[in-house]
Structure 1
Amino acid sequence: MKHPTSYRTSIIGRTAGRLGVLTAACLTALAVAAPAEASTFSYPGHGVAVVHDRATTHADRAHPDQYRDSFAIHELGAVFGLGADNRATAVSAGCSASHPCRSIALSFQIVTMAGSHVRINATNLGRAVNEQCPGCQTLAGAYQFIVSTPAPFSLDAQARNQLAVIHHRLDALQTSNASIDDIKQRADALAAQVKTILDRAAAAAPKDREVNPLGTTGPSVTMHRHFDGPS
């Protein structure tokens, strides 16, 4: 008997950070202290923001087919320091070769921030584990997008609607009968679409002429990708 697949839809966090002073050691400690699942912390007067997102699945004989995704957007404003942690963990345990498990976890994290010389401590990790589970299909994928602009900006309605469509397509993978390799390719394709949307949004962000009259500090979108599972 096939049990229903469980999943978590997006948790969208939004907060603002103020300018302040940051040490790398302080930022690291804050990042480690962030709780599981999804959260955003800002520290007014210190210019520090910490964001944490996680998708976790555990498939076993009682629940052999598990899927979970996270799609989180954090708009932080102006900061001096950022701790960003994004993780996907998929575990398959105790199933047999004749009745294998299928465990898939995908986490998309989008962070927008503004400032010059921002200190960033970013972790993006996918981890797939088979525990005495021959023939099991286990896949964990983490995608992290960090958007940096000279002046604070917010994603407009068009960008948010486009991202919502991608999130819906990510959720739809829950009911897909596609192979693990195909799921991985579809997730990569969705990530490429996210990157295109964020590139366009960052390019249209306002320039901070008061801080940088020549406007030489341009926007950037950095994407981190980490998969664990079938190569």
Structure 2
Amino acid sequence: MNAFLSRHFLRLGLLAAGIATVTTAGPAQAAEAVAVAHDAVRTTANHRHHTQFRDSFSVRQLGTVAAARVGNHATARSVGCTADDACRSVALSFQIVTYSGERVRLAAVNAGRATNDHCTGCQTLAGAYQFVVVTPKATRLTPAAQRRLADIHRRLDALGASRLPAAELKKEADGLAAEVASLLADPASTATAPSARPTVKVHRQLDGWPRR
């Protein structure tokens, strides 16, 4: 893995850098894991910091688990700007979760919330995208899949330097999310046989001002 990936992108491992716990059954039983992982990004724009953009792009490869609780939140807020001196606050969070297991108890929360607080003419966008990938057996994303995800992450980062209005940012974020979903649904991404295609569920919540 190159320096860019290690610094900016994939937080990989059995339970990657977030809140996570594992419990192991007795010696005569198969090991079972209970995993908890949470990702969140928050922005606040005001008269001192007119433009705020932050994104999160995480990959949680949980392995074989008995139960998992995963959360993904994006919160954007614009405060106290005027129509002549408007603010823009954008928070985007992409969370990818992969796991395997039989009758896994999964609790997944995905939420995006945008708030304008006395902020006339401000643009505020919160987008939460959660991709839950279930494979028949424990596996990991291939190096090729990781490189493609890294490229998508770079393009997500690049949106922060753009001057696109919130409505256009929504379209760009949705386009990137569609690429992620297509990639994760490809058996080649996890080196599984075509007959054992991964199951991918996408949770999407976008909230923004001005309302459309």
TM-score computed with the length of structure 2 as normaliser = 0.86
**1:129 and 2:86 equivalent?**
no
**1:111 and 2:90 equivalent?**
no
Alignment counterpart, residue 13 of structure 1, candidates 11, 17, 20: 11
Percent identity of paired positions between Structure 1 and Structure 2: 45
SS in 1 for 2:43: strand
* TM alignment of 1:45-84, pairs within 5 A: 45=24, 47-84=33-70
One-letter amino acid of the counterpart of residue 105, structure 1: A
**Quick one: structure 1 residues 202 and 227, their matched pair in 2 at CA, closer, same or farther if it must change by over 3 Å?**
farther
In 2, Cα distance between equivalents of 1:176 and 1:217: 40
One-letter amino acid of the counterpart of residue 108, structure 2: A
SS in 1 for 2:86: coil
Are the counterparts in 2 of residues 96 and 134 from structure 1 also a CA contact under 8 Å? yes
Deviation, 1:203, is 7.4
In 2, Cα distance between equivalents of 1:224 and 1:138: 20
In 1, Cα distance between equivalents of 2:34 and 2:89: 35
Cα deviation 1:137-185 (Å, max 9, x = unaligned): 0000000000001101110111000000000000000111111111100
Cα deviation 1:94-125 (Å, max 9, x = unaligned): 11111011000000000110111111110000
Alignment counterpart, residue 153 of structure 1, candidates 139, 163, 175: 139
- Give the number of aligned pairs: 196
Partner residue, 2:86: 100
In 1, Cα distance between equivalents of 2:172 and 2:76: 18
* TM alignment of 1:162-201, pairs within 5 A: 162-201=148-187
Deviation, 1:218, is 5.5
SS in 2 for 1:227: strand
**Quick one: structure 1 residues 171 and 203, their matched pair in 2 at CA, closer, same or farther if it must change by over 3 Å?**
closer
Are the counterparts in 2 of residues 59 and 65 from structure 1 also a CA contact under 8 Å? yes
**1:43 and 2:22 equivalent?**
yes
In 2, Cα distance between equivalents of 1:70 and 1:10: 10
Are the counterparts in 1 of residues 142 and 189 from structure 2 also a CA contact under 8 Å? no
TM-score computed with the length of structure 1 as normaliser = 0.79
In 2, Cα distance between equivalents of 1:108 and 1:204: 19
Are the counterparts in 2 of residues 90 and 139 from structure 1 also a CA contact under 8 Å? yes
SS in 2 for 1:186: helix
SS in 2 for 1:189: helix
Unaligned runs of at least 5 residues, structure 1: 1-8, 18-37, 208-215
RMSD: 2.1
In 1, Cα distance between equivalents of 2:166 and 2:84: 18
**1:227 and 2:186 equivalent?**
no
In 2, Cα distance between equivalents of 1:101 and 1:107: 20
